[in-house]
Structure 1
Amino acid sequence: MKKDQVPQDEGNLSKNNVRELLYATDEQGNYTTALSKGWEPKSIALSNAMDDISERMELAKADFKAGKSSPIVYFMEASKMDLTILASYVGMWQWRVKRHFKPSVFAGLSDKILQKYADAFDIDINQLKNFKAD
C-alpha cells in the first residue's frame, strides 16, 4: 500500500489517541513507515472479538454460580487465554488444567498450584480462592 493510502478510519485505536505503525511504500517504491488511526474492517473484527470474550466471561460466571466450573475458567476468559495458552503459562499438561476446571478438583488444589494460576492471571491468590462471580 502506498503511504498516502494508509487507512485513517476512526476506530478503537483512535479513541485513546493511539496510532498503529504500518509499513507502506513511498513515491519511489521504497518501504517506509506510516501511522494509522485505524482501519474500519480491523476495528469491526476487534469489536466482535471483544464481544465474544465478554459473552464467554458471562457464561463462565453463570457456570461458576451453577457449580459447573471453577473460577479458573472465568479468569482464563478474562485474561484472553485459551486452554493451550493457560497450560503453557502454568507449566502443566492441558488435560490436567482442564481437570482443574471442575469445582470438586479445584477445591482440593494446593496453594502452590493455585499460585501458578494466580501468577498466570496476574491476580492475588485470594481473588482466585474467594471468587464470587458478582
Structure 2
Amino acid sequence: MKKEDVPQDLGALGKVTKEVCYATDESGKYTTQLSDGWDIKTTALDTAWHDVEERIAAAKQKVLNNEASPILFFMEKGLMDVQILAGYTGFWQWQVKRHLKPDVFNSLSDKKLQKYAEVFNVSIPDLKTMTVNEE
C-alpha cells in the first residue's frame, strides 16, 4: 500500500490514538505512516465484540438456569478459558472444570472461592451473585 493510500477512517480509538502502518513511499521503500483507523477493521472488531457479548449473555443465562456456576460467567467476561483460569488460580484444569458445576461450586471453601474472586477482581459475594465491578 502506498503512503497516501493508508486508510484514515475514524475508528473506535481514532480520537485517542493512532495506529502505525507500513506503506511504501514515493521511491518504493517501506516506511511507517500513522492511520486514524480503517472502516473494515472497525467492522471486524465490532463483530468480534458482539460475539463476545453474546457468549457472556449465554453464560449468564446458564448460571441463572443452574446449568453452570458463576465461574463460567466471569471466565467469559474475562476472555478466559479453562487453561488460562487454571494458570491464574493454581488449580488443575480438571478442578476448574469441576468447579463449573453448580453443586460443586456451592460446596467450595472460602479459600478456594477467594482465589477465583482475586482473579476476577471481585469479592466472594459478588462472585456468587455475578456482580461486576465496572471500574
- Supply the RMSD in Å over aligned alpha carbons: 2.2
Shift of 1:30: 4.6
Map 1:24-43 to 2 at 5 A: 24-43=23-42
Q: Which residue of 1 aligns with 2:61?
A: 62
Aligned residues between the structures: 132
Structure 2 segments unaligned to the other structure (5+ residues): none
TM-score by length of 1: 0.81
Instruction: State the AA in 1 paired with 2:7.
Output: P
Q: Which residue of 2 aligns with 1:78?
A: 77
TM-score by length of 2: 0.81
Instruction: State the AA in 2 paired with 1:3.
Output: K
Map 1:1-134 to 2 at 5 A: 1-14=1-14, 16-131=15-130
Shift of 1:53: 1.0
Instruction: State the AA in 1 paired with 2:99.
Output: H
Q: Distance in 1 between matches of 2:96 and 2:105?
A: 10
Instruction: State the AA in 2 paired with 1:45.
Output: A
Structure 1 segments unaligned to the other structure (5+ residues): none
Q: Distance in 2 between matches of 1:34 and 1:27?
A: 13
Alignment CA distance shift 1:123-1:29 (3 Å): farther
